[in-house]
Amino acid sequence: MGAVPRVVQKPRRLPGDRGPAPKIALTWATFFGAGYVPIAPGTAGTLAAVPLWWALTYVSPWLYVLATIAVTLTGIAAADRAGRYFGVADSGHIVIDEVAGYLVTMLFVPRTALAAIAGFVLFRLFDVLKPPPARFFDRDPRWKNGAGVVLDDLFAGVWAWAGTWGIQIAASRFGLT
């Protein structure tokens, strides 16, 4: 009688079998824990970005741009590392992409409550709808990494930026600002 073939199963990934937690990357990727909110972590991440935007409106526009670039680049690295740790490239816990996208949405927008609310709502809308090219970075398997996670939100932020400026211009034309 021949040897019975042994069935080999791929082990499931369990929390803790990926080595020690990359604490700095997880802290930044979850934007200081906002990504751990159990309901709508992306919305929580965007909401957590509002005070950062408000603070950055007090610096020169070029420092705002540099800060946005820094958040984006460090966010890509942190999202990539956190995604490997979580075992999912675009884990719901990763919200640094929402922070970067909201900062793009609010680029050069006046510091008003109307702008903050309009930018928040439009960014969440475009982040969910993923108009081109955001959809490409979200769905293409070649971009299932930290760069793809952040880039789809940056492009959603560009769409939201245009909408926020449209609302801002309309409000000023009607004397609402």
Give me the pLDDT at residue 11, please: 46
Q: How far is the C-alpha of 109 from the C-alpha of 30, rounded, in Å?
A: 25
User: Please, is 29 exposed, middle or buried when counting C-beta atoms within 10 Å of its C-beta (0-12, 13-18, 19+)?
Assistant: buried
- Chain centroid offset of residue 162 CA: 18
Residue tagged 């816990």 (tokens): 93
Domain coordinates of the chain in residue numbers?
34-173
SS3 38: coil
Q: Which residue from 47, 174, 167, 45 is spatially nearest to 110, judged by alpha carbons?
A: 167
DSSP assigned state of 11: P
Give me the pLDDT at residue 136, please: 87
Percent helix, strand, coil in the chain, to 5, is: 65, 0, 35
Q: Which two tokens stand for residue 76?
A: 């890509």
Q: How far is the C-alpha of 82 from the C-alpha of 16, rounded, in Å?
A: 13
Overall residue count recorded for the chain in this entry = 177
Residue tagged 């400026």 (tokens): 165
Q: What is the pLDDT along the chain (177 residues), one digit of tens a residue?
A: 566 666 555 445 555 456 788 999 999 999 999 999 999 999 999 999 999 999 999 999 999 999 999 999 999 999 999 999 998 889 999 999 999 999 999 999 999 999 999 999 999 999 999 999 988 888 888 888 999 999 999 999 999 999 999 999 999 999 887
Structural contact between residues 42 and 98, judged by C-beta atoms closer than 8 angstroms: yes
Give me the pLDDT at residue 10, please: 45
Q: How far is the C-alpha of 71 from the C-alpha of 172, rounded, in Å?
A: 31
